Amino acid sequence: VAAGIFAPKVISRFGARRTLVVSLLGQGLFIAALLGIDEGSWSVWLATAGVSVASMFHLGAIISYGVTVTSGVPDEEQGLATGLVTSTQQVGITIGIPLLGVLATTGTDLLAGTRTVLLIDAAVVLAAAALIAVGLRTRRNA
């Protein structure tokens, strides 16, 4: 809820591209931080906090992604652009979650499988942040 309230304010102040990159970086780093959690008594609380903060960054990325993709689209095509954005997210969810679930549970050690999936997830999110940072650079007068 907090990310949904503050993301538009952050976007208006820093821009959608910066917000998208920073949100993905935050999400990736907090996912990667979950790799350090062991089987100790505080692990559930630390995992809950880490996932919660990563989720806030994730929502910031979703909102700024939508703004970035639909910026500059003519008014009569906004519905189409929003539909395409939503469709890509749904396809990613439909393929990504089951794939990561299979990878996590393929071996005999569930904790090791979960760590592998967290590592893959963090790497993909951080790579996306890097690609977006480079690919969506602001054009200078050409």
How crowded is the C-beta side of 8, counted as CA atoms within 13 Å? 3
Q: How many domains does the chain have?
A: 1
Nearest 5°: phi and psi at 8? Answer: -60, -35
Please report, as a single letter, which amino acid is at residue 3. Answer: A
Is 140 contained in some domain? no
Tokens 């760590």 correspond to 115
Residue 141 lies in a domain: no
Helix (H) or strand (E) holding 15: none
Q: Please enumerate in sequence order all residues whose Cβ is within 8 A of that of 131, keeping only pairs 6 or more positions apart, or say none.
A: none
Question: For residue 142, what pLDDT band results from cuts at 50, 70 and 90?
Answer: very low
Residue 142: inside a domain = no
Q: At 2, is the pLDDT very low, low, confident or very high (cuts 50, 70, 90)?
A: confident
User: 23 near 8, Cβ under 8 Å?
Assistant: no
Whether the predicted pLDDT of 139 surpasses 80? no
Question: What is the tens place of the pLDDT at every residue in 33-83?
Answer: 998 887 776 778 888 999 999 999 999 999 999 888 888 889 899 999 989
pLDDT at position 119 over 50: yes
**Domain containing 121: what range?**
2-135
pLDDT in tens, 6-34: 898 999 999 988 999 999 999 999 999 99
CA separation (Å) from 42 to 34, 48, 88?
Answer: 12, 10, 37
The C-alpha atoms of residue 34 and residue 79 are separated, in whole angstroms, by 37
Residue 141 pLDDT: 43
User: In this structure, what token pair is assigned to residue 76?
Assistant: 């009569």
Per-residue confidence (pLDDT) for residue 32, from 0 to 100: 94
Mean per-residue pLDDT, 98-103: 92
Question: What is the amino acid identity at position 36?
Answer: G
